[in-house]
Structure 1
Amino acid sequence: MITPWEVEGVVDYERLMREFGIRPFSEILDKIPNPHPLMRRGVIFGHRDYERIVDAMKKGEEWAVMSGFMPSGLPHLGHKMTMDEIVWHQNMGGKAFMCIADMEARFVRGLSVEKTRELGELYIRSIIALGLKSDNCLIYYQSANRYVKDLAIELSSETNFSELRAVYGFNPETSLIKMFIPMIQAGDILHPQLKDFGGFKPVVVPVGADQDPHLRLTRDLANRICIFSFERIEGGVRVRSRKGENYLEKLKDLNFDLKAYEGHVDIFGDPEEIEKAVRNLEMELGGYAFIPPSSTYHKFTTGLRGGKMSSSKPESYISLFDKPEEGAKKVMRALTGGRATVEEQRRLGGEPDRCVVFELYTYHFADDKMLEEIRRDCEDGNLLCGQCKKQLAEIVKEFLKEFQEKAKSVDLSEFEILK
């Protein structure tokens, strides 16, 4: 079972991709300049419309990266993975939008305002310590962002209970606030395209697979709330109006060859130029002209004792704010892919792909050369689990020490933060 609030059981990523139309990230990897290690290693396993982002990168056009964190517990290595992705995208030229989902933490998890603020600052300090730059960046708490809340109200007019039940499994006992949270999430994802933030642009949302329901719903809402819709045809684009026939008349003012029919207009020429011109027209007419958001999907970080690493299960994670010595101890208690005995380990070798410790190396703590050496020595039986854990424990201990010093020294006044 996978929902934005709960993950149970073994996750079959191939089945997720088949059932929900997520495309393999491997198919576009060679198109990405200087891909992030998580992309090259298959940890980022899927995407929707990421080609839009790659095209914008290469053309030097405006685009953005947006993701958020619910401050229901201490930030941990699972959160670090998303933070690393946001920082990488910012470094590649995107404007970064980071959300602290305090409304969701308050109304779904029951945290106080004071607690969400306290935890929220730790998430903000964490992503800055990991490399987020103050220019081309907006950090905000949901409760302080009027654009998100106003947009959520408008988007709520485009859906109903039946759809939310189909997407999220809601039932008559589900509280109204939990049903409204997806509208807030959609507001988060789409508001970087509002006129006050530069208008329509490609936006990528890096998330774990459990957040895909929000992306599917938001992509649908992005289309529904706009005036014009697009359909590629031979030689151009077919444009329809969701808001009445009168808007189609406005298309005749565009500098393209076109043919008007009842209910739609066919416009001929470069499809990208046509869609851009029509979106600009929509904004002049007071519409949103949203581009459906792109997304990337990373695998879940496995908990130290198995299952998903979760803020609600302290024993499952290494927090970015654990004492360095405690982080090292947690590594030593983690599950491995070792054999039952030392003799079997030396004879048969370990199984790194079933090992939490090797996963931590893969996701966070090893470059390509080091990772390959660990895999080879493990599979050959030359590296025992105790040795491997001890090495990683020292790495984690040093990382936490340096990270926490950076986080403590962050000057929040240098950043634009809505709170």
Structure 2
Amino acid sequence: MNMKIDPWSALLIEDYSKLFEEFGILPFEDVLPEIPNPHRYMRRKIIFGHRDYDLIADAMNNKKPFSVMSGFMPSGKIHLGHKMVMEEIIWHQQQGADAFVGIADREAHAVRGIPWERCRDIGIEEYIISLIALGFEQKGHIYFQSGSQKVKDLAFELGAKANFSELSAIYGFTGETSVSHMLSAVTQSADILHPQLEEYGGPKPTVIPVGADQDPHIRLTRGLGNKMNMLKIERREDKDGRGYFSIRSKTAPPDAMKELQERIPGRSKLFEGHLDVQDCDDFEELLRIVREVELESGGYAFVPPCSTYHRFMSGLQGGKMSSSVPESYISLTEDPKEAAKKVKRAKTGGRMTLEEQKQLGGEPGKCSVYELLMFHLVEDEEELAQIYSECVGGQKVCGKCKALAAERMEKFLRQHQELREQAKDRLDEYGLKRK
């Protein structure tokens, strides 16, 4: 397959299963039974894949600390695709996550050439106001990359572990790629890892909800986080087949290895550069001690970031959704009546004639209107199942579905825009100001 995913261009993925084979993304349905009160995107397989989400499920079930983090490049209108990510962030925040949202103005400036003031205006007026209107809680963290010294400092540290060959392999960078563009990619890694800094409670699982096009950032960050850690734990077997743990030093000072030997219960033997631990049945406790000693030694002890991947929404006219084609998407700030008209003009999965529709049934899997209902406009599972059943059974014609979706879209946008007006007056609560 050799698929190349580029986070900065439009991408239409027709076979999501290939991502499992090519990039090691795991099917989300395998972890779904472990999740309390799953979001509708999870129930409906809109979120289709993950990396290490079992760590997040464990944290939710056992009231352990965890974070959620994602970001938005301020380059244009906020649309329903952005709303999906915002809803996932807010849901995780409601489940107990410490929530972080970054406005990627360094990326927008480096990749799109958008002026700094314009980045700030778009970030606040389009993205942050809608985020607050959708329910992002005040205790969360909203920041601009250019205004976060923590992120910029961490990006500099991570940059010492990154090289052009690695960035080229992941992103397809060439000799024509600007250094600022490459730095913006490393800054994304700093965004993802900085919720684990000591001022935010230290190492903990952090989930990054993204579309599949953003997986290069996840892969780069997991690699850089691993390189930053001073210590690693390996499972090994001795010559008699008995298992043990070997704690290997990558950059840890010698005193750290001695401190580990003193703190870890049971039999252990210290060698130059590693400590072998026998008779240890509690891996979680061992991991806790190793991270504790690394932090005391000036390291980071990062937990590899987790991630979820959601399917892309198609354009209203079919194919890709494109910011350069207004008829292909619905903005959260556009006139509700105009948005309703777009829905009524949208491509459906209906047949050519009414007779064929009744005889063969519709094809909701090819219908942008059904997609709107499934992704955004119908919360109740029974109602959605009935719409689907009546469509494929030929009882429901496309006009009725369009009318339902248009009515609900208009209602949602009116309500959301009223909440946006209220959110504008609350920006100072989040440490932000409009012009």
The TM-score normalised by the length of structure 1 is 0.96
- SS of the counterpart of 2:173? coil
Q: Distance in 1 between matches of 2:12 and 2:143?
A: 33
Once the two structures are superposed, the pairs formed by residues 94-133 of structure 1 within 5 Å of their partners are 94-121=97-124, 122-133=126-137
Deviation at 1:236, TM superposition (A): 5.3
2:249 to 241, 244, 247: 241
Query: Structure 1 residues 82, 9: closer, same or farther in 2, change over 3 A?
Result: closer
- SS of the counterpart of 1:73? coil
Once the two structures are superposed, the pairs formed by residues 190-201 of structure 1 within 5 Å of their partners are 190-201=193-204
- SS of the counterpart of 1:201? coil
Q: Does the CA contact (< 8 Å) of 1:145 and 1:418 recur in 2?
A: no
Q: RMSD of the TM alignment (CA)?
A: 1.6
Query: Structure 1 residues 374, 146: closer, same or farther in 2, change over 3 A?
Result: same
2:401 to 388, 391, 410: 388
Once the two structures are superposed, the pairs formed by residues 232-271 of structure 1 within 5 Å of their partners are 232-233=235-236, 237-243=245-251, 246=254, 247-257=256-266, 258-267=268-277, 268-271=280-283
Q: Distance in 2 between matches of 1:206 and 1:60?
A: 20
Deviation at 1:315, TM superposition (A): 2.7
Query: Structure 1 residues 342, 2: closer, same or farther in 2, change over 3 A?
Result: farther
Q: Does the CA contact (< 8 Å) of 2:103 and 2:123 recur in 1?
A: yes
Aligned to 2:54: 51
Q: 2:410 corresponds to which letter in structure 1?
A: K
Q: 2:74 corresponds to which letter in structure 1?
A: P
1:24-72: per-residue Cα shift (whole Å, max 9, x none)?
0000100101111100100000000111111111221111000001111
Q: 1:130 corresponds to which letter in structure 2?
A: L
Query: Structure 1 residues 193, 418: closer, same or farther in 2, change over 3 A?
Result: farther
Aligned to 1:139: 142
1:369 to 372, 379, 382: 382
Once the two structures are superposed, the pairs formed by residues 393-408 of structure 1 within 5 Å of their partners are 393-408=406-421
Deviation at 1:416, TM superposition (A): 4.2
Q: Does the CA contact (< 8 Å) of 1:65 and 1:203 recur in 2?
A: yes
2:74 to 71, 76, 84: 71
Q: Does the CA contact (< 8 Å) of 2:70 and 2:208 recur in 1?
A: yes
Aligned to 1:83: 86
Q: Does the CA contact (< 8 Å) of 1:377 and 1:383 recur in 2?
A: yes
Q: 1:376 corresponds to which letter in structure 2?
A: S
Q: Distance in 2 between matches of 1:120 and 1:236?
A: 51
Once the two structures are superposed, the pairs formed by residues 167-206 of structure 1 within 5 Å of their partners are 167-206=170-209
Q: Distance in 1 between matches of 2:176 and 2:192?
A: 27
1:273-304: per-residue Cα shift (whole Å, max 9, x none)?
11111101111111111111000000111111
Query: Structure 1 residues 413, 355: closer, same or farther in 2, change over 3 A?
Result: same
Query: Structure 1 residues 338, 27: closer, same or farther in 2, change over 3 A?
Result: same
Q: Comparing 199-208 with 244-253, which one deviates more in the overlay?
A: 244-253
Q: Distance in 2 between matches of 1:239 and 1:409?
A: 53
Q: 2:363 corresponds to which letter in structure 1?
A: E
Verify: 1:311 aligned to 2:323, yes or no.
Answer: yes
Identity %: 51
1:63-111: per-residue Cα shift (whole Å, max 9, x none)?
1000001111111000010000001000000010011111111121121
Query: Structure 1 residues 401, 369: closer, same or farther in 2, change over 3 A?
Result: same
- SS of the counterpart of 2:31? helix
Query: Structure 1 residues 94, 235: closer, same or farther in 2, change over 3 A?
Result: farther
Q: Distance in 2 between matches of 1:224 and 1:287?
A: 11
Q: Distance in 1 between matches of 2:99 and 2:252?
A: 35
1:297-344: per-residue Cα shift (whole Å, max 9, x none)?
001111112233343443321000010011101111211111111111
Q: 1:377 corresponds to which letter in structure 2?
A: E
Q: Distance in 2 between matches of 1:123 and 1:236?
A: 50
Q: Distance in 2 between matches of 1:53 and 1:281?
A: 24
Q: Distance in 1 between matches of 2:12 and 2:209?
A: 23
Q: Comparing 93-102 with 382-391, which one deviates more in the overlay?
A: 382-391
Verify: 1:326 aligned to 2:330, yes or no.
Answer: no
Aligned to 2:296: 284
Q: 1:266 corresponds to which letter in structure 2?
A: D
Query: Structure 1 residues 334, 237: closer, same or farther in 2, change over 3 A?
Result: farther
Q: Does the CA contact (< 8 Å) of 1:66 and 1:206 recur in 2?
A: yes
Q: 1:241 corresponds to which letter in structure 2?
A: S
Unpaired runs of 5+ residues, structure 2, are: 237-241
Q: Comparing 262-271 with 159-168, which one deviates more in the overlay?
A: 262-271
Query: Structure 1 residues 330, 336: closer, same or farther in 2, change over 3 A?
Result: same
Aligned to 2:427: 412
- SS of the counterpart of 1:47? strand
- SS of the counterpart of 2:369? helix
Q: Does the CA contact (< 8 Å) of 2:261 and 2:275 recur in 1?
A: no
Aligned to 2:239: none
Q: Comparing 230-239 with 162-171, which one deviates more in the overlay?
A: 230-239
Q: 1:415 corresponds to which letter in structure 2?
A: Y
Q: Does the CA contact (< 8 Å) of 1:56 and 1:62 recur in 2?
A: yes
Q: Distance in 1 between matches of 2:100 and 2:74?
A: 16
Q: 1:398 corresponds to which letter in structure 2?
A: K
The size of the alignment, in residue pairs, is: 418
Q: Distance in 2 between matches of 1:237 and 1:188?
A: 32
Q: Comparing 271-280 with 242-251, which one deviates more in the overlay?
A: 242-251
Q: 2:262 corresponds to which letter in structure 1?
A: D
Q: Does the CA contact (< 8 Å) of 1:236 and 1:270 recur in 2?
A: no
The TM-score normalised by the length of structure 2 is 0.93
Q: Distance in 2 between matches of 1:29 and 1:244?
A: 38
- SS of the counterpart of 1:397? helix
Q: Does the CA contact (< 8 Å) of 2:225 and 2:304 recur in 1?
A: yes
Unpaired runs of 5+ residues, structure 1, are: none
Q: Does the CA contact (< 8 Å) of 1:53 and 1:202 recur in 2?
A: yes
Query: Structure 1 residues 244, 2: closer, same or farther in 2, change over 3 A?
Result: closer
- SS of the counterpart of 1:260? strand
Q: Does the CA contact (< 8 Å) of 1:31 and 1:54 recur in 2?
A: yes
Query: Structure 1 residues 47, 418: closer, same or farther in 2, change over 3 A?
Result: farther
Q: 1:307 corresponds to which letter in structure 2?
A: G
Runs of 4+ in 1 over 4 A off after TM superposition: 233-236, 416-419
